[in-house]
Amino acid sequence: MKRKIMGVATACVFLGIVFSSGVWATALPPEVMSSLKEVKILEVTEDNVDVIWDLRPNQDPDRADIVDLRLDYRDISTELSLVLQEWVSSGKGVILYQSNVDRFFPEIEISTSSIGRDLVAKAIEGSHPVVTGVKEVEFGKRYYHPVTGELQSPHIPILETKRGEVVAIASCCGKGRVVILLNADDWRFAPWGGAEYDNQRFEINVQQWLAGAPVPRLSGRGVPGGPCYRLEDCLTPEMVKKIELLAVQKNMDICKLIREIFTEYLSKQIDL
């Protein structure tokens, strides 16, 4: 899957393969990743906020599938907010953070005081397609503003703290789709990146759903109906080091090397 991010003049490709502390993990198997929709994401900041004008129906509304609204509510005018809401309502997607929730959904009650640190949020199982294959998402060592009131349709809680405080919501705006992340420091510490938890899978799910595409139905990292596995979950640290060293010696991709070893094991029942 390609993830095109467009800011002022930037773009990147998201492959869904993570390397962290010498250990690999994949959010989804390659054959699933390659079948996902190529999502065009427009990152809006205080430096390029006027780009929202280009999303008007008579301009270039299809330049993006999703707007990632990475700015404070004080940096976006009421007029631009209305243009963005109209664009989303037409069938597009937007990622909102705590600072801009009131602009879109004044009925959602959020704590005015930030709470907690070291937030690892739990997925509310079965609540919504964006938490398929997701158990825990790390927001990082930052404060957050939980929901204080009761959420009404179409607002659906998707992530919560261990104390049951809602910190992420999926919702709708007309024909469009919205995901709200309530970390107090807003866009600067959105839960993207990091291999220890299910951040990458959550990111993929959110992007596909917001773009109107099907969310992958695998419940784990490449294991239909099973849990998420990482290399260190299945092998001892010594074995991990040996595989990494062998990959360097053979000048091979680690994933390809592991498949080769596993295939040989199955065919010859060698002792690993």
Number of helical (H) and strand (E) elements in the chain, helices listed first: 7, 11
What is the per-residue pLDDT across 198-208, written as a single tens digit (0 to 9) for each? 888 999 999 99
What is the per-residue pLDDT across 64-116, written as a single tens digit (0 to 9) for each? 999 999 888 888 999 999 999 999 999 999 999 888 898 899 999 988 777 77
Query: Helices (DSSP H) in the chain: which residue ranges?
Result: 30-33, 78-89, 101-104, 199-210, 231-234, 237-250, 254-268
Per-domain residue ranges of the chain: 3-210, 235-268
pTM more than 0.85: no
> Given this structure, which CATH class describes domain 3-210?
alpha beta
Least confident of 6-20, 156-170, 244-258: 6-20
Residue 42 near residue 72 (C-beta atoms within 8 A) = no
Cis check for the bond before 191: say yes or no (omega within 30 of 0).
Answer: no
